[in-house]
Structure 1
Amino acid sequence: MAPKFRDGDTVVAVNGKWVSWAHTVFAAAAFLGALIVGMSLHFHKIVQNQYYGYPDEWFPSVSAAIGDRYPERSVFQIFIAITSGPRFALVFLWYVLTARPNHTLPKVVAGMGLFRTLTCGGWTYVTSTDDHDWHDVFMISYLVSTLPWTLGCLALSPNNPRSVKYRKILASLFFGTLVPLIYYFIQHKVHKVPGAYTKYAFLEWSLILFDVSFDAVTALDFEGFELVVRDIKGVSRGKGKPVARTFGGAFVLSEAIDAVADVYNGFVFWSLFTSLGLLIWYFPLWHMGISGYEAAVLGTASPLLLAIPYLRSLATQNLRALHFLSLVGLLAYLVRDPVYRLFTVTFSVAVGCLAWSATWYGERAQPTRLESRIAASAIGLIASSVAKFAFKSNNPIWPSMHVENGGWNKLGFCLAVLAVLRSTNRQAVNTSDYFSSSGRKGSSFLAALGLGGLFFGLHAFLSDSSTMISWVWDGYPIRGPVAVPHGAWTIFAMGAGLFFGLLYPRLAGSWTAFGIGSLGAAVLNRYSHWFGFYGGLSLAFYLMSVAPVLITSAVRHSPASSFGRGFLVYIFLVLFSVWVVAYAFVPGGHLARERTDLLMVCTVLAIGAGIFSAAVTNSSPAKSKPISPNGTRQRSYYISILVALQLLSVTVAYLRFPTNDYIPYHKEDKLVTAGIWTIHFSLDNDMWSSERRVRDLIKELELDVVGLLETDTQRIIMGNRDATQILAEELGMYVDYGPGPNKHTWGAALLSKFPILNSTHHLLPSPVGELAPAVHATLDMYGEMVDVVVFHSGQEEDPDDRRLQSEYLAKLMGESPRPLILLSYLVTKPLEGNYNTYVSELSGMKDIDPSDSDRWCEYILYKKLKRSGYARVSRSTITDTELQVQSILLPASVGVMLLWILIYLLLQVGKFIVGATDTNDAEQATESTVPESLRFPGKFRGEGVRGHQYHVFKEPRYWL
């Protein structure tokens, strides 16, 4: 006979009462959660019955609250599924508690408990909407089986006066409620009395309360039970592996809170750090060239100040003050003037770089705390990427955000204050964690190169989960990853890389790992689609894994030599990344024109230099010692946070998964409303992120197709973000991001309510000036294939470029046998110059309104479609291009002001009817003769709304 107990390690021991508590809490959450969600979202609908609604009936029945509508039905089903585990355990424990030799009743009651649990699943997941008959069968079976279960539990109750008392009271209430319940049901169903169903509903909910409470009483009986899991073969014992050691320690709540606070500090640092480039970009954007405000990037080199011994000592001894000062950037959203907001964030980032450099340096003699600080900063980067993934590519605490455009600035600041208070108040760790230096150090210069390459790589490629996806995107049909859901893959690679780097630092810092990372960078730079993305994932994994290695090496040197010079290298690489695309607007730009490949090589070589230095610095024999128990426990908290962020990213990917079921606004008329808009990198005239304002205007104009220009924001200077994510998801449109950052354009994107069957990206001839991007897409418009081309021509300063581009595009459009719409930025006067190449026999294109002589940049051309309307709508303060009205206050000694003249670019909109052919002699019609469904919205007449009104013509134009 097998022994009753086996020796072995106790892995888990849980008091039996927690089974009852778990059952009670999850069951209550299921019913109350569905009720609260239903009352909040669908109150009038769920109180409505076949005879009456609100105000006669004002409380829903159980079935109406839990089974009729989404999302309350899903809330109930999720929590009731979780309840099933504790429920089966409760029935099992009750049988164990009451079973007696040669007694049948405990078996009958247990069987009834199982049957009752299964029937509950039946009426839960087969709603009355799904199958009314089966739903009633399961529900009635459940209610009928409740009687023997309740009476059986009363008969078998242990000798516990409290539990017996509560069971009798609750059973009496349950069965006593059935009488008035039936009465009011008859009043409602037969006599049709107003309000009777509300009273019935209250009694029905009371039955649920009494039923759940009756089973909750078992907590009093199960207190004497302990559920124990024993390891009789030693499989749960650690074998000396890093993973086993990491998660083998005890859990200390205060230390876990410290870890969360540390990570949040890292999140705040990376949020502010990545916002600086976006704010700087605002100024050269309006100046169309070097503005002088670019010098703000030098604020990141603040660790150079640590070369002064007094300042170094002051910084390392006053880390709390430094971290608090860095939080001023979170309040920058309160500063309305763009110049002062930039100065505020520059100061914040400078202090933040100083604080984190001093933090890492100050922990150099304590490996546990140093690793914790490095992990916190790295996980903070992942957290910022997850936040942008959740908020559709904008960080909610950026200074370009505020309440009106979706910012969470106040909450972010309050949490940051608490986090700094907590994370800068740690007790000193055990001295056994101290590892002395071996005396061998690699080159501080090479260490600085490594840090510069690392920070640039992390910022350029990993500060947004969709950046590398935009690098490999190449149009429809989709042959690679898309921002949602595959952004979660980037986040997973980042987390896995950091996990690997913390557990296996020697391997992460090896030349083998460097070779794999370099290969990944080459593949990302060279290839598109999935293969290119796999290279990007390899690069993401490597960058995160090598971060602890390089920072651990850097702290062995003077912080000014390593971190200060490292940020100078970072600044050089950032400027290089700007020059590759902005070559037409910066001095010496032609030397870096389109040399992203060279930029990638410089980044990889810089990291390689850091690896060379770290191989010497981190080679101390003491480093090979296993980390102390205190360190393994600390590590487990950070890895747990890392896992939580991974799960959050998966949840976000699921919630944001595209539906691809989009419907045009006027399907019945086969109407297509198309627009062209230069959205100015989604940064409005006041330095706020403008995606929501752009979204609202596109929605109110009922645009089915819209071409957006100046949209490539997947660069450090533009925040590594993607405005098309918000627009496509919230407007319900398919999207082609257009040529990615590695194509060196300012961007051209296409949004469409119609499925995009195929799309091709073009880089038009640009031997002198900026590259001209074009997206040529074929759309399924009401069953007919129609081409749409979104195009951004080169600048006025390069006439040969624009001539070559006009010839290329005219040929491209002329070769299309399908109806075609051109949504474009042409930089030409109507009826003159290159206009006559675009509108020509070669292209076959017509101007939507040749009489509109006020254009210079934005044009809508078409062929083989019937135009029905045309309008120009002012863009308020959302966007602007070319020359901005900008007053620049020079130093007082100069005492002058420069005024830039403004050429407004408007949103241009055209309406076309698919399947009908335009006639050359179509006369302009009055709006009263046009069917209402074909008209432009009336809200933009006169003063319009929010600064948007019909402009130039003051009203739309129509043709019949």
Structure 2
Amino acid sequence: MAPKFKDGDVVFAFSGKWVSWVHTVVAYAAFLGALIVGVALHYHKIVENEHYGYPEEWFPSVSATIGDRYPERSVFMLFIAITSGPRFALVGLWYLLTARPNASLPKFVAAMGLFRTLTCGGWTYVTSTDDHDWHDIFMISYIVATLPWTLGCIALSPSNGKAAKYRKYLASSFFGTLVPLIYFFIQHKVHRIAGAYTTYAFFEWTLVLLDVAFDAVTALDFEAFELVVKDVKGSSKGNKMVADAVLEKEKDKQVNQVFGQAFSWTEAIDAVADVYNGFVFWSMLTSLGVLVWYFPLWHMGISGYEVMVMSTVSPLLLGIRPIRSLVVKNLRVCHFLSLAGLLAYQVKDPANRLFTVGFAVWMTCLSWAATWYSEAAQPGRLESKISAWAIGLIASSVVKFAWQTSNPIWPISHASNGGWNATGFILAVLAVLRSTRKSPAGGSDLAIQGRKEGSSLLAGLGLGGLFFGLHSLLSDSSTMILWNWEGYPVRGPISAPHGAWTIAAMGAGLILGLFNEDIARSWTFYGIGSVGAAMLTLYSNWTGYYGALILTVYLLAASVPLIGSAARKSPARTFGIGFLAYNFMVLFHVWVVAYAFVPGGPLVREHTDWVMITTMLLIGCGVFSSVSSTPAAQRKRFNAYLNSRKQRSYYLYILGVLQLLSVSIAYLRFPTYDYVPYHKDDKILTAGIWTIHFSLDNDMWSSEYRMRDVIKELELDVVGLLESDLQRIIMGNRDTTQFLAEDLGMYVDYGPGPNKHTWGAALLSKFPIVNSTHHLLPSPAGELAPAIEATLDVYGEMIDVFVFHSGQEEDPEDRRLQSEYLSKLMGATPRPAILLSYLVTRPLEGNYNTYVSETSGMHDIDPSDWDRWCEYILYKGLKRTGYARVSRSTITDTEIQVGKFKIGEKESEIAEERNAMISEDQVPEGMRFPQMFRGEGVRGHQYHVFNEPRYFA
């Protein structure tokens, strides 16, 4: 019989804990039931993956178990459908238990709980076979929402020590399991290690069990509820929760001041607008170098347009009082003028586009310097502007992570190559209108703060080092990963997914700087950052990357005290000198690789270590200035913004969203490694060589989309790319190979990294790259000559491919030494080999006879082709079947050369027989070159020189 209470009778009642128990039992039944049925009926099928089957792999993954096979899929779907009812009830009861007046966190956690429930249904009922994209979208959304749900439940746990303990243990185990899970997945997917997927499957099942167990803990809390619905213990009517008690005891601490406030949409939108303005600043600044680079690239030396690098020094004008007053009082106008850079894509002439962006950078640097200075009297607002600027950098990195290192609002982008320029401009206008509606401090508040708190000159130098470090290393999440890349087999991080690690370290650094500014400005932390810089510079693979992560945390953390200290001094001497020092560092880090083309270049040749040392010394100047602030002054500023720290929470929410986005992007971009060559049935390997001119076309547009199209249409299985290292400020910190590899479905070896001081050599391959070694060939006088030596698994046969860029024409001794080195390298391999190269020699003359010699054992793909100077394809131990030259259109200054090879056959060693040509109608269909490039071709690409491909018997 149902109990009675003074406020009415209860017709039916049961303890709320049974909601949790039903949810737990049915959820486990769904997964374990499918596992039992799957093992019983389809064991060998569900343990098999794309690389191995039984007995190498002997335990099925979750996805294989609950996937497409009947009846295990039906068993899973039946029980998971039954689970949905208790699941919705569980989320609702948790909200009722934790809700309290003026608290937004319970609402947010409940929303995440509902979102997880809906997305669980998504990936459950839409399998990867049904719709791979939507299955992944639902799965990623579910995983991403798990983090705020888990942390939110822990934060809101009622005063129940046993439940709180279990939640902490289960949550720690869940997130700890992700590390070995990812490790063994990479071992399986990248390294193809037998048995790795079985180990991965155990961790995957562990995650499922822990995920359900975490929600099962609510049974201990829901004992306080009796349904329908009676709160018999009053837990939801005012009993203090653990989080409430902690916050009351520590009400003067920063955590309560940040998160213990009611949510305000107005302030949240203000924060979003500020961050977007920061994103636009970094987008404009990072685009300037690319536009400047276009001109020396085409002039092959100093062009004069390099002076536009100095567009950043506009804050020097703030040293003139009338101008400073004018700018501070008209910040909205200044920010609006800086948006001209977002419209620069409408300017077709390259020079005028550069001038437009130069003006935009001039205005945005002036605007941000004046903004920081004008807010110096209000520490809370100053911190908000610094946070927005720093999170803007993180947002820029996340966007480039999503766009494979390109930025869709850059002026080298437009609609046909992935640009979102118009959308970016409209959002920027709205952001400026929103973020500048509050006028800065006026009158006496504009007086320079803390004149005696350290040197303005040293503060400016510190900013120069900071700006350069952030821009050169962190404006793209893959830059420092490529510093540590050493080729195959993979021995360190890869751009995706590990770019998310770099972004996570950026967020952690900013949080540290905001919550513990004393540590961020300390000499001890500076020393730790310097150690990270040294590790990044001196080591490769994981060791070097761990140093990169340390340096990342330091740079973002130091941004808060260094910019804050500079804002309280003369803006001309701090921000003006800061950007001047930044410009010096930009030129310095270009000179170390461009030494052959600039005056005084040989003095700093290959000295990235000098660049890093100078960067850290400059930052040290800023630290010295910052710590020189008197304790009394620091305490006064601290007290001044204690009451303003509520605004900080919105910036941290934005930061959290960006971190979740980066994790999602990493998942989506994880390499599939299921690539298929174009003519596998004919066992044809089609190889090409192309000098891509740093992915800028003749009209100053980013060219990766056009490159992708022609590579795909030419059906290239293997392609060597030269002049491909774009990971410097002057080239936008880009990596075209990421886009090409992912879009075309190819393995990629970036070649010698940006810290190896070359113009780049990269290899893309439809075939697995078993091993690769990077070489820097002898270059005593001129620029460094990079080479990749890679072994490919081509239809089961090991074949070596060499990608090589020779030194320039002005250094004949370099080219002679390089030809001897490469000739011996090619001659040393006993395997069939292909050379995809840029040799700078005429056929049958000079160094050509070193490359094509008894020492190398290599043959020219077409000795009768006399009209060559740069690009050559050589080979040995293979049957060459075809050769073609394809015009470049306006993409670069160099054509594409293509060769076809029949794997499993060898040709005659007699030159006359080997070089005998045949007509196309004698060649099987699958071994022919595409017809679409005949005649006028497509989009400016056509067979030229001989006007048709050549085929060999």
TM range (shorter): 0.7 to 0.9
Matched with 1:749 is: 762
Q: 1:795-814 alignment to 2 at 5 Å? A: 795-814=808-827
**Does residue 911 of structure 1 match 2:920?**
no
For 1:667, what is the secondary structure of its paired residue?
Answer: coil
**Does residue 702 of structure 1 match 2:715?**
yes
Deviation string, structure 1 residues 505-556 (Cα, Å, up to 9, x no partner): 1110000110000010010000000000000011111000000111111112
Q: 1:199-238 alignment to 2 at 5 Å? A: 230-232=239-241, 234-237=244-247
1:602 offset after TM fit, Å? 0.4
Matched with 2:612 is: 600
1:438 offset after TM fit, Å? 5.4
**Does residue 519 of structure 1 match 2:531?**
yes
1:670 offset after TM fit, Å? 1.1
Matched with 2:283 is: 271
1:246 offset after TM fit, Å? 1.7
Deviation string, structure 1 residues 82-115 (Cα, Å, up to 9, x no partner): 965653349979x99xxxxxxxxxxxxxxxxxxx
- Structure 2 CA distance for aligned equivalents of residues 516 and 658 of structure 1: 34
For 1:479, what is the secondary structure of its paired residue?
Answer: coil
- Structure 2 CA distance for aligned equivalents of residues 122 and 333 of structure 1: 40
- Structure 1 CA distance for aligned equivalents of residues 618 and 461 of structure 2: 5
2:414 is aligned, of 396, 399, 402, to 402
Q: 1:115-514 alignment to 2 at 5 Å? A: 230-232=239-241, 234-237=244-247, 239=250, 240-426=252-438, 437=449, 440-514=452-526
* Contact 2:450–2:568 (8 Å) recurs in 1: no
- Structure 1 CA distance for aligned equivalents of residues 313 and 239 of structure 2: 56
- Structure 2 CA distance for aligned equivalents of residues 81 and 465 of structure 1: 43
1:272 offset after TM fit, Å? 0.4
* Contact 2:378–2:640 (8 Å) recurs in 1: no
Deviation string, structure 1 residues 823-861 (Cα, Å, up to 9, x no partner): 000000000000000000000000000000000000000
* Contact 1:765–1:772 (8 Å) recurs in 2: yes
1:668 offset after TM fit, Å? 1.1
**Does residue 632 of structure 1 match 2:658?**
no
Matched with 1:649 is: 662
- Structure 2 CA distance for aligned equivalents of residues 740 and 864 of structure 1: 30
- Structure 2 CA distance for aligned equivalents of residues 80 and 314 of structure 1: 65
- Structure 2 CA distance for aligned equivalents of residues 446 and 90 of structure 1: 55
Amino acid at match of 2:896: L
1:430 offset after TM fit, Å? 14
**TM-score with structure 1 length normalisation?**
0.75
Runs of 5+ unmatched residues, structure 1: 6-15, 24-65, 97-116, 131-220, 881-904
**TM-score with structure 2 length normalisation?**
0.76
Identify if the C-alpha distance between structure 1 residues 860 and 229 changes in structure 2 by more than 3 Å, giving closer, same or farther.
farther
Matched with 2:184 is: none
For 2:592, what is the secondary structure of its paired residue?
Answer: helix
* Contact 1:552–1:618 (8 Å) recurs in 2: no
Identify if the C-alpha distance between structure 1 residues 79 and 504 changes in structure 2 by more than 3 Å, giving closer, same or farther.
farther
Matched with 2:587 is: 575
Identify if the C-alpha distance between structure 1 residues 930 and 338 changes in structure 2 by more than 3 Å, giving closer, same or farther.
same
* Contact 2:521–2:623 (8 Å) recurs in 1: yes
**Does residue 816 of structure 1 match 2:816?**
no
For 2:799, what is the secondary structure of its paired residue?
Answer: strand
Identify if the C-alpha distance between structure 1 residues 526 and 943 changes in structure 2 by more than 3 Å, giving closer, same or farther.
same
* Contact 2:460–2:573 (8 Å) recurs in 1: yes
For 2:937, what is the secondary structure of its paired residue?
Answer: coil
1:918 offset after TM fit, Å? 1.6
- Structure 1 CA distance for aligned equivalents of residues 950 and 603 of structure 2: 48
1:558 offset after TM fit, Å? 1.1
- Structure 1 CA distance for aligned equivalents of residues 508 and 762 of structure 2: 33
Deviation string, structure 1 residues 732-765 (Cα, Å, up to 9, x no partner): 0000000011100000000000000100000000
- Structure 2 CA distance for aligned equivalents of residues 417 and 708 of structure 1: 39
* Contact 1:466–1:483 (8 Å) recurs in 2: yes
Q: 1:40-51 alignment to 2 at 5 Å? A: none
Q: State the superposition RMSD in angstroms.
A: 3.3
Matched with 1:206 is: none
Identify if the C-alpha distance between structure 1 residues 535 and 81 changes in structure 2 by more than 3 Å, giving closer, same or farther.
farther
Identify if the C-alpha distance between structure 1 residues 623 and 487 changes in structure 2 by more than 3 Å, giving closer, same or farther.
farther
Runs of 5+ unmatched residues, structure 2: 6-15, 24-65, 98-116, 131-227
- Structure 2 CA distance for aligned equivalents of residues 511 and 122 of structure 1: 51
Deviation string, structure 1 residues 767-799 (Cα, Å, up to 9, x no partner): 000000000000000111000000000000000
Identify if the C-alpha distance between structure 1 residues 623 and 912 changes in structure 2 by more than 3 Å, giving closer, same or farther.
farther
**Does residue 940 of structure 1 match 2:950?**
no
* Contact 2:463–2:562 (8 Å) recurs in 1: yes
Identify if the C-alpha distance between structure 1 residues 339 and 92 changes in structure 2 by more than 3 Å, giving closer, same or farther.
closer
Q: 1:732-881 alignment to 2 at 5 Å? A: 732-880=745-893
Identify if the C-alpha distance between structure 1 residues 127 and 728 changes in structure 2 by more than 3 Å, giving closer, same or farther.
closer
Amino acid at match of 1:707: G
- Structure 2 CA distance for aligned equivalents of residues 89 and 793 of structure 1: 67
Matched with 1:622 is: 635
- Structure 2 CA distance for aligned equivalents of residues 820 and 129 of structure 1: 39
* Contact 2:313–2:579 (8 Å) recurs in 1: yes
1:428 offset after TM fit, Å? 7.1
- Structure 2 CA distance for aligned equivalents of residues 295 and 78 of structure 1: 68
For 1:426, what is the secondary structure of its paired residue?
Answer: coil
Amino acid at match of 1:660: Y
Identity across aligned pairs (percent)?
67
- Structure 1 CA distance for aligned equivalents of residues 376 and 128 of structure 2: 65
Moved more, 560-569 or 240-249: 240-249
* Contact 2:377–2:441 (8 Å) recurs in 1: no
Identify if the C-alpha distance between structure 1 residues 91 and 522 changes in structure 2 by more than 3 Å, giving closer, same or farther.
closer
Deviation string, structure 1 residues 898-936 (Cα, Å, up to 9, x no partner): xxxxxxx21000000111112231320100010000000
* Contact 1:367–1:435 (8 Å) recurs in 2: no
Amino acid at match of 1:483: S
Identify if the C-alpha distance between structure 1 residues 657 and 370 changes in structure 2 by more than 3 Å, giving closer, same or farther.
same
- Structure 1 CA distance for aligned equivalents of residues 485 and 739 of structure 2: 18
Matched with 1:668 is: 681
Identify if the C-alpha distance between structure 1 residues 940 and 534 changes in structure 2 by more than 3 Å, giving closer, same or farther.
same
Identify if the C-alpha distance between structure 1 residues 85 and 862 changes in structure 2 by more than 3 Å, giving closer, same or farther.
farther
1:315 offset after TM fit, Å? 0.6
For 1:650, what is the secondary structure of its paired residue?
Answer: helix
* Contact 2:328–2:440 (8 Å) recurs in 1: no
Moved more, 384-393 or 615-624: 615-624
Identify if the C-alpha distance between structure 1 residues 633 and 123 changes in structure 2 by more than 3 Å, giving closer, same or farther.
closer
Identify if the C-alpha distance between structure 1 residues 475 and 925 changes in structure 2 by more than 3 Å, giving closer, same or farther.
same
Identify if the C-alpha distance between structure 1 residues 571 and 935 changes in structure 2 by more than 3 Å, giving closer, same or farther.
same
Deviation string, structure 1 residues 369-389 (Cα, Å, up to 9, x no partner): 000000000000000000000
- Structure 2 CA distance for aligned equivalents of residues 381 and 779 of structure 1: 39
Identify if the C-alpha distance between structure 1 residues 486 and 955 changes in structure 2 by more than 3 Å, giving closer, same or farther.
same
- Structure 2 CA distance for aligned equivalents of residues 487 and 697 of structure 1: 28
- Structure 1 CA distance for aligned equivalents of residues 823 and 618 of structure 2: 45
Identify if the C-alpha distance between structure 1 residues 764 and 129 changes in structure 2 by more than 3 Å, giving closer, same or farther.
closer
Deviation string, structure 1 residues 858-902 (Cα, Å, up to 9, x no partner): 00000000000000000100011xxxxxxxxxxxxxxxxxxxxxx
1:363 offset after TM fit, Å? 0.4
- Structure 2 CA distance for aligned equivalents of residues 494 and 311 of structure 1: 35
**Higher gyration radius (CA):** 1
Identify if the C-alpha distance between structure 1 residues 508 and 878 changes in structure 2 by more than 3 Å, giving closer, same or farther.
same
* Contact 1:320–1:421 (8 Å) recurs in 2: yes
Amino acid at match of 1:345: V
- Structure 2 CA distance for aligned equivalents of residues 427 and 222 of structure 1: 51
Aligned length in residues:
759
- Structure 1 CA distance for aligned equivalents of residues 127 and 601 of structure 2: 66
* Contact 1:249–1:629 (8 Å) recurs in 2: no
* Contact 1:498–1:545 (8 Å) recurs in 2: yes
